[in-house]
Copies of this chain bind each other. A is one copy, B any other.
Amino acid sequence: MQPQSEIRLTPQRQVILEELAKVKTHPTANEVYDMVRKRLPRIGLGTVYRNLELMADNGMILKLEVGGSQKRFDAITNLHYHIRCTCCGKVDDIELTAMPHLDQLASDSSDYQVVGHHIEFSGICATCGEAQEKAITN
């Protein structure tokens, strides 16, 4: 997971990194595109995808392949876990100490070369929960 090679920090990549670091959410590629476009209106969608992928390979950012149909990206790269709202798809960090030893257990009980793991909780976020209650009482 080390940087495989230095990549050139083009203006586009700089802006993508900055915008990603600016938010505490875990935006999808499209959301990153929208954020970046405010500063670089002529940037192409392909460039955003290409560079998010590139920077994830490089270890500069984290690619979250969580449930749902979209990949999400995170500027915080240390091991931590997430919770996803089954209702609106939002992804938040969850405060739970990392359990890196799980990798060893998995390695022992399978014939895979284990490289990592991810825990994803699912639930209903506060906003969606309230919306549901209102819908019922009405």
Residues of chain A at the chain B interface (Cβ within 8 Å) = 65-69, 83, 85-86, 92, 94-96, 102-103, 105-107, 109-126, 129
Contact = CB atoms under 8 A, between A and B. Distances in A.
A25 B105 CA distance: 21
How many chain copies? Answer: 2
B112 A121 contact: yes
A82 to B, nearest CB: 10
A113 B123 CA distance: 5
A103 B121 contact: yes
Contact of A119 (B92, B115, B119): B119
12 contacts: A65-B66, A65-B68, A83-B114, A92-B110, A92-B112, A94-B109, A94-B110, A96-B109, A102-B121, A110-B121, A117-B119, A118-B122
A95 B106 CA distance: 7
